[in-house]
Amino acid sequence: MSQRTLGSRIRRHRLERGLTQAGLAERVGVSASYLNLIEHGRRRVTGELLVRLATALDLDLRALGADGDAELVPDLVEAFGDPLFGDRPLPRPELEALVGEAPDVARAVLRLYRAYDAARQSVETLSARELDRTEAATVDRVRLSSEQVSDFIQRQMNWFPVVEEAAERLWRDARLDREGLYGGLATALDREFGVRVRIATVEELGGILRRFDPARRELVLSETLRRGSRNFQCATQLGLLRERAALEALTDDPMLDTDEARALGRLALASYFAAAVLMPYADFHRGAEETRYDVELLGHRFRVGWEQVCHRLTTLRRPGATGVAFHFVRVDVAGNISKKFSATAVRFPRFSGLCPLWNVHGAFLQPGRVRVQLSRLPDGSALFSVARTVQRHAGGWRAPAVLQAVGIGCDVAEAPRLVYAEGMDLANLSAAVPIGISCRVCERLECGARAFPSLHHPLQLDENVRGISFFTPAARPPGAA
């Protein structure tokens, strides 16, 4: 966190409590002039002084020291890069100041822009597909709800101790064991809730994979689900029934301000619960360290798929037993991001596509093969990432298979902990692939993959000169006028 942001946050909390600079300065034992310099980002705040400030303001230390609003800055940069705001985007320092001094205002601006962006896409959809007004509104609500849930999970850093404890409690209460997990989960559903599990044919269920009938107390699973997926769906249903009160309490959050968002949040947390049941924290963390984060080997050991392992790796945040801090992204062949999370320096784009130079896109060139990449962002951050395609089958010969790519990555400093980094010269960043987040916020002008002009530099066209792409400046030969 920058000193300017920290100073703005101190000032905001001081004003909220009706304190003068002199009054707060007296409480923490500094001069009013020194506090004034701190609030304007002109003096560093030591750890000891930060503790005194938090105590004087009656705050949890994390409210001052944690950069919980950091994700707002790249989102604002991306939003203000829209041509709607003209050719001169707001400077990043001004947006950082807005987030530091008035984060709620920054969130309100983003909500307004998201609503505008959703309305714009709705109009485009109406024009292209001639949707009626009700269907278009439903599409927009679902899209906005999905963004809210993504923000909610990101704010919690994908770590929900209450859900982890619930999964561990289920293992004890139901006396589960890994070899007979499906039978144990089905027995727990029957014993605790009188719910019978039945496998049904594709003809009966169509494209549905899981259907719970509360009246008949029956959970019906598709025959297309493999053993690990059947376990996952049984555990998800147990989470929805067994931990209903906990899931509702967790999703009673200001970030989830619609019924759709709260319902989607409960489903996301029920899936989190299921993953914690199939991959118990202590065993999975130990396995990850022993195998050096070999995703395929972990999948075999816990009988789950590549995506499930990657997603579970992002949740290893238990104090005293943390794993590698990963980011996670899932894309389709069109480049659409359908799931994202970051515990690294990466802030995934919200309103545009991900840079095409990421290896998660290249995974489609070799389906089923693991691809690794050493890369560097424009700010100098170096990343190591792993990606592979995953395929979803919905039925037999006539059912279309959906191909997606899933990637995880970490800071290059943590890469030696991964088996995939063996034999790579991680210190040689000159060989790193120069990636960005998205074209509009990327400062790399000399990029052949650029699809849009950078919002940081005005577009300058010369009909007589062509660069490596239409949106990159063309270098003139020496001596040219």
Q: Do 419 and 471 reside in the same domain of the chain?
A: no
Nearest C-alpha neighbor of 351 from the set 169, 118, 72, 60: 118
Contact 372, 386 (CB under 8 A): yes
Tell me if residue 36 falls in helix, strand or coil: helix
Asked whether residue 467 is domain-assigned, the answer is yes
CATH number of the domain bearing residue 11:
1.10.260.40
pLDDT at res. 139: 42
Q: Do 423 and 449 reside in the same domain of the chain?
A: no
Asked whether residue 72 is domain-assigned, the answer is no
* Distance in angstroms (rounded) separating the CA atoms of residues 195 and 212: 9
Q: Do 459 and 367 reside in the same domain of the chain?
A: no
Q: Do 383 and 337 reside in the same domain of the chain?
A: yes
For the chain, 481 residues long, give each residue's pLDDT as a single digit of tens.
566 667 777 887 888 788 888 989 989 888 888 888 888 778 877 777 888 888 888 776 555 544 556 667 777 877 777 766 765 667 777 877 777 777 778 888 888 877 777 676 655 545 444 444 444 444 445 557 888 899 899 889 999 999 999 999 999 999 999 999 999 999 999 999 999 999 999 889 877 889 999 999 999 999 989 889 999 999 999 999 999 999 999 999 988 988 999 999 999 999 999 999 999 999 999 999 999 999 999 999 999 999 999 999 999 999 999 999 999 999 999 999 999 999 988 888 877 789 999 999 999 999 999 999 999 998 889 999 999 999 886 667 666 778 999 999 999 999 999 999 999 999 999 889 999 888 877 777 778 787 777 766 666 666 777 666 666 655 444 444 4
Tokens of 381: 């951050």
Q: Do 333 and 414 reside in the same domain of the chain?
A: yes
Q: How many CB atoms lie within 10 A of CB 166?
A: 21
Domain extent at residue 411: 321-437
Q: Do 407 and 345 reside in the same domain of the chain?
A: yes
Asked whether residue 17 is domain-assigned, the answer is yes
Half-sphere exposure of 184 (CA within 13 A, CB side): 16
Contact 157, 149 (CB under 8 A): no
- How many distinct structural domains can be found in the chain? 3
Q: Do 390 and 462 reside in the same domain of the chain?
A: no
Q: Do 372 and 468 reside in the same domain of the chain?
A: no
pLDDT at res. 248: 96
CATH number of the domain bearing residue 356:
3.30.450
Of 67, 100, 122, which residue constitutes the final position of a domain?
A: 67
What is the DSSP secondary structure assignment for residue 411, as one 8-state letter?
E
What would the DSSP string read from start to end of 142-197?
HHHHHHHHHHHHHHTTT--HHHHHHHHHHHHHHT--STTHHHHHHHHHHHHH-PEE
Q: Do 427 and 343 reside in the same domain of the chain?
A: yes
Asked whether residue 338 is domain-assigned, the answer is yes
Asked whether residue 456 is domain-assigned, the answer is yes
Asked whether residue 469 is domain-assigned, the answer is yes
Angstrom distances, CA of residue 45 to CA of 22, 67, 117, 131, 235: 17, 15, 39, 55, 47
Q: Where are the alpha helices (DSSP H) in 243-294?
A: 244-250, 259-278, 281-290
* Distance in angstroms (rounded) separating the CA atoms of residues 194 and 213: 12
Asked whether residue 56 is domain-assigned, the answer is yes
pLDDT at res. 37: 87
Q: Do 356 and 462 reside in the same domain of the chain?
A: no
pTM of the model: 0.73
pLDDT at res. 137: 43
Q: Do 337 and 433 reside in the same domain of the chain?
A: yes
Of 17, 34, 67, which residue constitutes the final position of a domain?
A: 67
Q: Do 383 and 462 reside in the same domain of the chain?
A: no
Asked whether residue 478 is domain-assigned, the answer is yes
